[in-house]
Amino acid sequence: MNDYFYFPVIINFIGIAVIYACWNHFNRNKFALNFVGWGVITISMLFWVEFYGAEYGIVFSCISISITGLLCLGVNYQRRPQKVVQKNYQNNWIGVRQTSTRFLTFLVAGPLALFACCALCLLIPHWFSEQRSHNLVLAAFLLPILWGLVSFWVCAKDELLVPFVVILLTGIFSSLILFL
């Protein structure tokens, strides 16, 4: 650890402290104070990058924001007596219909969505074939985000039919473009 370690840590702490003070004490000029706080945090990020290089600096900066924020949280917590609510113990068997619906949701949000997302992501290296290796890595990073969001969408929908049709068609069309 080099001698400058504390410098970006302190600046980052000041930034979070300004945001915390604004949240905790001030009702006026909140926007301005928040702006100052995030500005100071941005400056601390620049110091992280300056002292540790771009790669370590950005990661250290993100981590330090998390840790400082959680420390503020540790200072600010409120403790109240625990309310114990008595509930009845009751086991309900899950019905066949409910089980099959959940299984179908799993199939649509899982393997089917993975197939569609894979095919969709690979359209990037397909269309931009000059830098294919670049775009393959981009597709590899895009895949989890896309799949995660599609699964979330499937789970958020009450009806399964629309997501099923959209995902299936996306997968088929993307595959056709890829392989034909």
Partner 1 sequence: MTIKPSNQLVKSALSGHSWLGLCVSALMYLICLTGTLSVFFEEFERWEQPEIEEYSTYSTKQIETALSYFSNRIEKTPESVYVVLPTQAVPRIHISGDGKEWFVNQNGSLSSPPEEGWTHGLKALHTTLHLPQTLGLIVVGALGAMLCGLIVSGLLAHPRIFKDAFRLRLGGNKRLEQADVHNRLGVWGTPFYLMIGLTGAYIGLISVLVAFAAPAFYDGDREAIIEAVYGGDPELSQPVVPFNIENAFETLAREHPDATPIYMVFQKMDTEQQFLEIAATLPGRLIYSEMYRFTTTGELLDHQRLSDGPVARQVAYSVYRLHFGHFGTGWTKIVYGLLGAGLTIIAATGVNIWLARRKKVSCANDMWLAMVWGTPLALAVSVITNNLWQLPVSGFWLTLLSSIILCCVFKGGSRSKTILIRLTGLSLVLVMYQYYLKFGSFDLNPAALKINMAIILMLSVYLLLVIKRFFIKR
Q: Which of residues 4-23 bind partner 1 (CB under 8 A)?
A: 20, 23
Identity of the residue, 11 or 48, whose beta carbon is nearer to partner 1 in the bound complex: 48
Q: Residues binding partner 1: what is the number (CB under 8 A)?
A: 73
- CB contact at 8 A, 120 and 146: yes
148-167 residues near partner 1, rule: CB under 8 A: 148-157
Q: Does 143 bind partner 1 (CB under 8 A)?
A: yes
Q: Pick from 52, 108, 112, 170 the residue near partner 1 by CB under 8 A.
A: 52
Q: Pick from 136, 165, 169, 176 the residue near partner 1 by CB under 8 A.
A: 136
Cα–Cα distance measured from residue 75 to residue 94, given in angstroms and rounded to the nearest whole number:
44
| Minimum CB–partner distance for residue 52 and partner 1 (Å) | 6
The separation between the first and the last C-alpha atoms of the chain, rounded to the nearest angstrom, is: 55
| Minimum CB–partner distance for residue 43 and partner 1 (Å) | 17
DSSP code of residue 108: I
DSSP code of residue 94: P
Q: Is 17 exposed, middle or buried (0-12, 13-18, 19+ CB in 10 A)?
A: middle
Q: Does 139 bind partner 1 (CB under 8 A)?
A: yes
Token look-up 């597709």 returns 139
Q: Whose CA is closest to 5, among 69, 57, 62, 58?
A: 57
| Minimum CB–partner distance for residue 112 and partner 1 (Å) | 13
Identity of the residue, 27 or 88, whose beta carbon is nearer to partner 1 in the bound complex: 88
55-114 residues near partner 1, rule: CB under 8 A: 55-56, 59-60, 62-63, 65-67, 69-70, 72-73, 76-83, 85, 87-92, 105-106, 109-110, 114
Cα–Cα distance measured from residue 110 to residue 124, given in angstroms and rounded to the nearest whole number:
22
| Minimum CB–partner distance for residue 179 and partner 1 (Å) | 6
- CB contact at 8 A, 76 and 24: yes
DSSP code of residue 29: S
Identity of the residue, 149 or 169, whose beta carbon is nearer to partner 1 in the bound complex: 149
